Amino acid sequence: MTGIARLFMLTAVICALGGMVWGIQMSASQDHLLSPAHGHLNLLGWVSCAIYAFYYHLVPGADYGALPRLHLAAALLSLGLLVPGIPLAIQERTEMLAQAGSLAALVSMLLFGVIVLRSRPDKAAYAPQQ
């Protein structure tokens, strides 16, 4: 795995490790107040980024141009805003980061949708092996 696929997979692994450590900490302290942020870290960070990584790895040419880099930037921005923004919203300090992170996550998925629609899978890659 190389290029943008590798960057997405590294992000996924880092988020998975962070989510696991955070989950263990919540379990040990029996304080699950921030579980929505933990869930978003796992879903957007681990699951979504791993799916993005596999898509870019499996579909030749999908990582071409500036759009995939914008997709990565939007995904990272959404994580950077949303994961700390949810605890701030839960603590009733501000909802601004969570809202901005949600919009960045939406932009990230819209960009991914455009990338999927514009991609032309290499038919040879899906031909039966002989």
* Residue 2, Ramachandran bin (φ over 0: left; ψ between -120 and 50: alpha; else beta): beta
pLDDT in tens, 73-111: 999 999 999 999 999 999 999 999 999 999 999 999 999
Contact yes or no for 15/79 (Cβ under 8 A): yes
- The pLDDT value recorded for residue 121 is 65
Give average pLDDT by consecutive 10-residue segment, the chain, 130 residues: 95 97 95 92 96 94 93 98 96 96 98 92 50
Domain ranges of the chain: 3-121
Closest CA to 55 of 1, 15, 104, 105: 1
Q: Which two tokens stand for residue 34?
A: 């921030």
